[in-house]
Copies of this chain bind each other. A is one copy, B any other.
């Protein structure tokens, strides 16, 4: 085993990072954000500095900066400033996916907007308009259901893991 000072198997970590990131990439995420996110997810503290990320992933500070900016916009990482230092820490919570999925609703809202315009410009009574209406109804349904689902997840998690999301 390749052990680092911290006692973790650096190679195992890296293997997980790359394979999980690859899955995210295949699902449409950009490579660098995916790798950064995977690295954070598999860190013991759930936080890494820019320098640590750069070293682990073998990329420049600029690449880290760009990747983190993207992730922060998507609400997939939080930025923290260590008081009394110019170093920044990036953090994931275990329930970060909850956050991210909740955020997806914003995307769906825009889809809904485009669909509503389509319905009115193509005519609600035309065949195409009806198809768009039904599509819109599906999204509205999903919106509402996802909100309820997330509420159930919160309850489920507290029961199983305790209330504090790490």
Binding site for B on A (CB under 8 A): 8-9, 12-13, 15-16, 19-20, 23-24, 26-29, 41-46, 92, 94-95, 97-98, 101, 107, 110-111, 114-115, 117-118, 121-122, 126-128, 130-132, 134-135, 137-139, 141-142, 145-146, 149, 152-153, 156-157, 160-161, 166
Instruction: Give the interface SS of chain A, mostly helix, strand, loop or mixed.
Output: helix
Other CB < 8 Å A-B pairs besides A8-B122, A41-B128, 20 of them?
A8-B126, A8-B128, A12-B121, A16-B117, A16-B118, A16-B121, A19-B117, A24-B111, A26-B107, A28-B28, A28-B29, A42-B128, A94-B134, A97-B139, A98-B138, A101-B142, A127-B166, A138-B153, A142-B153, A145-B153
The answer to whether A95 touches B42, judged by C-beta atoms less than 8 angstroms apart, is no
Closest to A111 in B: B23
B135 touches A156 (CB 8 A): no
Assembly CA distance A8 to B114 (angstroms): 19
- CB pairs A–B below 8 angstroms (29 shown): A8-B122, A8-B128, A9-B121, A12-B122, A16-B118, A16-B122, A20-B114, A23-B110, A23-B114, A26-B107, A28-B29, A41-B128, A42-B132, A43-B128, A44-B127, A45-B127, A46-B127, A46-B131, A95-B134, A97-B135, A97-B139, A98-B138, A130-B166, A131-B166, A134-B157, A137-B157, A141-B153, A142-B153, A149-B149
